[in-house]
A and B are shown apart, each in its own frame.
Chain A
Amino acid sequence: MNIPTTILTLLAGITITLLSLWLGQNNNLLPIAASDNAAGVDSLFNAMLAISVGLFFLVQGLIVIAAIKFRQQPGDESDGPPIHGNIPLEILWTAIPAVLVLGISVYSFEIYNQMGGLDPMDHSAHMKPAAVQVAMQTDAMAGGLLADGTSADPNRPNFAAGVGAKPGQMDPADVTVNVMGLQYAWIFTYPETGSVSGELHIPVGQDVELDITAQDVLHAFWVPQFRLKQDAIPGKTTQLRFVATQPGTYPIVCAELCGSYHGGMRTQVFVHTPEEYEQWKQTQIASGIETEAIAMAPPSDSQSDGEFLEPFAEAMAMDMSPEMMHQMHAGSSHS
């Protein structure tokens, strides 16, 4: 009936290994993966989870066994064995974690590179001239309306890293959207159509670039299903570049404390199928036809600022839900 300890240890080791490997693959801990970055992040998470679960059970198991097996027996006032250390064992438990964290570091580096984290972000030079102009126009608008115009410079002096283009990807993104965080809403400006909205609309399967900034305080743009987050910083533009892979509607969450309504600073991203996206774009162009014309015109045109801004203001008001307006209002009266 007495099983040798070596066999028991071996069995425990195998069980813990299998359990952690299984949990590493079969945990439902993350929400669905809806961007091309998500798969890499998820496999990284799964690997780290497997290692963590293994180490967790190892340490907890030893502590629990010690508590049961080595607890003081009634009446035993003696001491344990005078063992002061064991150099090979100590080398082993220094080396194994060192190898593990170096492995995780290399793996993380690799995933980060694949995501586009190491992208030096000098894609502005490759931008199509029309797009540059539109972008400049819209930013100028943002500058006038929202007291910030730093990203208007094509050389982008205040541009900060987020997650950029995938390695080897030299072209500018298919779709660029300017994102502005303010207490307590997100405003999305689409240079292509010149329209403005309070929710983000993007096509599935296309390379999307978000140029993110903030008007007042720090915010953070987070879509859990994309596994992407980036702070929105006043006076700076930060970038996220990704391909949405699953059509659907996902929450956009503000992840940086921005004031009393921070918890309410949420909106949605619509990932459209190509047809839906075309359709949505058409409605935007239809409602903002002058916008388009104005935006396409060279900046030296003889229009006054007021005329220039009018359509934008209209589009913004149209697209913003009443609650959002209410929140913005409530927020400003509290801050």
Chain B
Amino acid sequence: MTQTVQENLPGSSPPPAHGHHKPTTWKTYFTFCEDHKVIGIQYLVTSFIFYLIGGALAVGVRAELATPQVDVVSRELYNQLFTVHATVMIFLWIVPAGTGAFGNYLLPLMIGARDMAFPKLNAVAFWMIPPAGILLIGSFLVEAPASGWTSYPPLSLVSGQFGEMCWILSLLILGTSSILGAINFSTTILKMRRPGLQLTQMPLFCWAMLAASALMLISTPVLAGAMILLSFDLIVGTNFFNPAGGGEPVVYQHMFWFYSHPAVYIMILPVFGMISDILPVHARKPIFGYKAIAYSSLAISFLGLIVWAHHMFTSGTPPWLRMFFMVATMIIAVPTGIKVFSWVATIWGGKLRLNSAMLFSMGFVSMFVVGGLSGVMVASVPFDIHVHDTYFIVAHLHYVLFGGSVFGLYAGIYHWYPKMTGRMMSELWGKIHFVLTFIGFNLCFMPMHWLGLQGMPRRVAEYDPQFATVNLICSIGSFILAISTIPFVVNAVWCWVKGEKAPSNPWNAISLEWQTESPPIPTNWEGDPPLITDPYAYGLKPGRKAIGAIRGSDLWAAKP
């Protein structure tokens, strides 16, 4: 690799005059602030609150399923619980946290920009989220949606107009917010890089965000279309999807999954990027196969657009279509595998700092692999005919979304918390959090594979008593998971106020976001941001200063 630290190129924009931004206080977070760092934290805290709400709903679901009979909640409430649970987790937690929170906070800092391309739009995108969330969760006061997060007609047309309409409106708002976000991310990455910084010199998180933004821009409008047509069927009485009037319910499924399969990659790609940036720092080794990881994100993004009908293998789709979507889906395992093996090779031979961020990252890789493997299984049409819409799918999706996305988001929080807040988190409580999460997660979701194979369908409030013991185990696991968030919340809140002050670069990381104060000043850097052409240049080279001994100031003082 060439020289890591180069002199600043002439022509990089001068810092804006001081006093442009008011100093950030806690009150700033409740305003329409245009600073990407404030917006990122607004996204993160808001989505985490929704995560806690979604988690509480899940505990309700698992409490009901602890016994085979319907006893804890009514059947109607049960359906509302899992519907809102899934919608909150996907649209109000993982998507806004992965893209909105980390994307906004990190992208400008990683590419040496002072803010996002469209700061106002950015603030608008964030402020759409709280009302959408309140609308969705508030619907419980009257009647919550109850036809699943997939909301297939005709059921969604007959299971309660009010709740369904709240669901549709909330998704339309969130979808719009997501599109606005994606416009901002892609423009920022493509146009706002510090002069001299090549695309292939960016941290991998930026590549992942580019791939995710493309998916958001291409697929979200189709979801919006489906929502609008569905709402016409629901309130105006049109028959786009209603077979009673000659409509075609399967068309809704195509439209829904044309968005919602890419959506799973919108939820995982940013996390892939975060893991690629966290592992090298704490393993003290360069990322293994930079280009392969970067391009595999693009490959996943492209392939992710042509596999949606793998959710419809029993919907009466034509045989050739099933075969096409089967093969396309299988192929996604190849770029996914490249990433997994590259991560393993990255930590292999390193000097691993097994702190909370690292534990969650390694936990991410090992849990995501399980979901990836079961993903390939369910891509196989003959096998999927058996397990589609069963607990096997519930297991698969939680291994990728919880074991994957949520573990990765936790890793990201532990890793960038010092940068965001200027404080260190407690490692001891972080490790307790990890152990509890890891045990609770596997206890809750591993047995679900067996349940699905043996014959337990998903989305049921009551089930065959032969599944009672295993369901009880799952429920106990879910309660451990619920408890596991307590050490995290306490740790995060306490340390924000009282934690040990963080240095600007506590992990001795090379990438650009660490080469400024913690938390960064409103203009991100005093003077020009340094140009870092290899953000992964870890490792001792003869005649070089050990990276552990380099301070951020060394790096940017490297001017002639």
Instruction: List chain A positions with a Cβ less than 8 A from chain B.
Output: 29-31, 37, 40-41, 44-45, 48-49, 52, 55-56, 59-60, 62-63, 66-67, 70-73, 76-86, 89-90, 93-94, 97-98, 101-102, 104-105, 108-109, 111-112, 115, 117-119, 147, 160-163, 216-218, 220, 222, 224-225, 227-231, 233-236, 238, 251, 253-264, 266, 334-335
Q: Which residues of chain A are near B350, meaning CB under 8 Å?
A: 66, 70, 80
Q: Which residues of A contact B388 (CB under 8 A)?
A: 220, 229, 255
Binds A, one of B169-177, B377-385, B411-419: B377-385
Closest partner residue, chain B, to A257 (CB atom): B459
Residues from chain A with Cβ under 8 Å of B380 in the complex? 44, 48, 104-105, 108
B526 interface residue per 8 A CB criterion: no
In the complex, per-residue mask of B448-474: 1 if CB is within 8 Å of any chain A CB, else 0 = 011001110111111110000000000
State the CA gap A102–B329 with chains docked (Å): 11
Task: Say yes or no for B228: interface residue by CB 8 A criterion.
Answer: no
Q: Tell which of A82, A104, A231, A258 touches B316, judged by Cβ atoms closer than 8 Å.
A: A231
| Known interface pairs A84-B288, A229-B388; A261-B75 also in contact (CB < 8 Å) | yes
Taken residue by residue from 70 to 86, chain B's Cβ proximity to chain A (1 for < 8 Å, 0 otherwise) reads as 10001110110000000
Residues of A within 8 A of B75 (CB): 260-261, 263, 334
Q: Please determine whether A263 and B462 come into contact, CB atoms closer than 8 angstroms.
A: yes
Contact assessment for A80 and B285 in the assembled complex, using a CB-CB cutoff below 8 Å? yes
Do B366 and A60 touch (CB < 8 A)?
yes
CB-based contact B1/A224 at 8 Å: no
The docked-state distance in angstroms from the alpha carbon of A204 to that of B340 is: 47
Is B314's CB under 8 angstroms from A229's CB?
A: yes
Q: Which residues of A contact B377 (CB under 8 A)?
A: 45, 48-49, 52
Docked complex: B177-197 residues within 8 A CB-CB of A? none
Rounded to whole angstroms, the CA-CA distance of A66 and B353 in the bound complex is: 11
Q: Which residues of A contact B319 (CB under 8 A)?
A: 112, 117-119, 161
Query: Is B428 an interface residue when CB atoms closer than 8 A count as contact?
Result: no
In the complex, are the beta carbons of B330 and A83 less than 8 A apart? Answer: no
**In-complex Cβ contact of B376 among A52, A257, A264 (8 A):** A52
A224, B455: Cβ atoms under 8 Å? Answer: yes
Q: A80-B283, A90-B342 are in contact. List 14 more A-B contacts (CB 8 A).
A: A29-B449, A63-B347, A67-B352, A70-B283, A70-B348, A93-B338, A97-B333, A101-B331, A101-B333, A119-B319, A225-B455, A234-B249, A257-B152, A260-B76
CB contacts (< 8 Å) of B344 on chain A: these are 59, 62-63, 66
Question: A117–B381 contact, CB under 8 A?
Answer: yes
Q: Nearest CB to that of B462 among chain A residues? A: A263
Task: Using CB atoms and an 8 Å cutoff, list the residues of chain B in contact with chain A.
Answer: 1, 70, 74-76, 78-79, 146-148, 152, 154-155, 158-159, 243-244, 246, 249-250, 283-292, 314-319, 322-323, 326-327, 330-331, 333-334, 337-338, 340-342, 344-345, 347-354, 362, 365-366, 369-370, 373-374, 376-377, 380-383, 385-386, 388-390, 449-450, 453-455, 457-464, 536-541, 546-549
Residue of A nearest to B454 (CB): A31
Bound complex: CA A29 to CA B395 (Å)? 14
Partner among B79, B288, B352 whose Cβ is within 8 Å of the Cβ of A72: B352
Residues A161 and B318 in contact in the complex (CB < 8 Å), given A55-B369, A117-B382: yes
CB distance B316 to A85 under 8 Å? no
Return 25 A-B CB contacts under 8 Å, by A number. Answer: A29-B454, A30-B453, A48-B380, A59-B369, A63-B344, A63-B365, A70-B347, A72-B354, A90-B289, A90-B341, A101-B330, A108-B380, A108-B381, A109-B323, A117-B381, A161-B316, A217-B158, A227-B385, A251-B455, A253-B455, A255-B458, A257-B152, A262-B79, A262-B459, A263-B75
B-side contacts of A81, CB under 8 Å:
285, 349, 539-540
Nearest-Cβ distance from residue A198 to partner chain B, whole angstroms? 18
Q: Using CB atoms, name the residue of chain A closest to B370.
A: A56
The distance in angstroms between the C-alpha atoms of A44 and B376, with both chains bound, is 12
State which of A30, A83, A112, A262 has its C-beta within 8 Å of the C-beta of B539.
A83
Q: Report the minimal beta-carbon distance from B350 to chain A, rounded to whole angstroms.
A: 4
Closest Cβ of chain A: how far from B143's Cβ, in Å?
A: 12
A56 to B342, CA, bound (A): 15
Task: Collect the chain A residues with CB atoms within 8 Å of residue B334's CB.
Answer: 94, 97-98, 101
Q: Cβ of A63 and Cβ of B148 under 8 Å apart?
A: no
- Bound together, the chains give a CA A212 to CA B458 distance in angstroms of 21
A334 touches B285 (CB 8 A): no
B383 touches A79 (CB 8 A): no
Q: Is the CB of B373 within 8 A of A253?
A: no
Q: Give Cα A200 to B376, complex, Å.
A: 33
Complex alpha-carbon distance, A84 and B204, angstroms: 14
In the assembled complex, the CB of B517 is this many whole angstroms from the nearest CB of chain A, namely: 23
Q: Is the CB of A262 within 8 A of B326?
A: no
Q: Which of B154, B318, B536 has the most A CB atoms < 10 Å from its CB?
A: B154
Q: How far is the CB of A219 from chain B (nearest CB, A)?
A: 10
A230-B381 contact, Cβ under 8 Å, with A66-B347, A85-B288, A263-B75: no
Cα separation A136 to B188 with both chains bound (whole Å): 63
- B337, A93: Cβ atoms under 8 Å? yes
Q: Which residues of chain A come closer than 8 Å to B461, judged between CB atoms? A: 260, 262-263
Q: Which residue of B lies closest to A93 (CB)?
A: B341
Asked whether A56 lies within 8 Å of B243 as measured between CB atoms, the reply is: no
Shortest beta-carbon distance from A25 to chain B in Å: 16
**Residues of B contacting A70 in the complex (Cβ-Cβ under 8 angstroms):** 283, 347-352
Q: Decide if A217 touches B155 in the complex (CB within 8 Å).
A: yes
Q: Is the CB of B159 within 8 A of A335?
A: yes
B381 contacts across to A, CB distance below 8 A: 108, 112, 117
Known A48-B377, A52-B376, A257-B148; judge A72-B351 contact (CB<8 A): yes
Contact A48 B352 (CB under 8 A): no
The listed residue with most A CB atoms (<10 A of its CB), out of B386, B463, B546, is B386
Please indicate the chain B residues that have their CB under 8 angstroms from the CB of A80 in the complex: 283-285, 349-351, 538-539
Indicate which residue in B285, B289, B326, B389 contacts A108 across the interface (CB closer than 8 Å).
Answer: B326
Across the two chains, which residue of chain B brings its CB closest to A258?
B155
Docked CA distance A30–B315 (Å): 23
Bound: A224/B546 CA distance, A: 61
Question: How far is A234 from B76 in the complex, measured between Cα atoms in Å?
Answer: 23
Cα A263 to Cα B390 in complex, Å, equals: 12
Smallest CB separation, A64 vs chain B (Å): 8
Inter-chain contact A62/B292, CB cutoff 8 Å: no
Q: How long is the Cα–Cα vector from A307 to B459 in the complex, in angstroms?
A: 41
Instruction: Give the docked Cα–Cα distance between A90 and B351 (Å).
Output: 22
Least CB separation from B247: chain A residue: A235
B383–A44 contact, CB under 8 A? yes
In the docked arrangement, what's the CA distance between A15 and B433, Å? 33
Question: Which 7 pairs between the two chains have the least Cβ-Cβ distance?
Answer: A82-B539, A160-B316, A263-B460, A224-B455, A235-B243, A80-B350, A80-B285
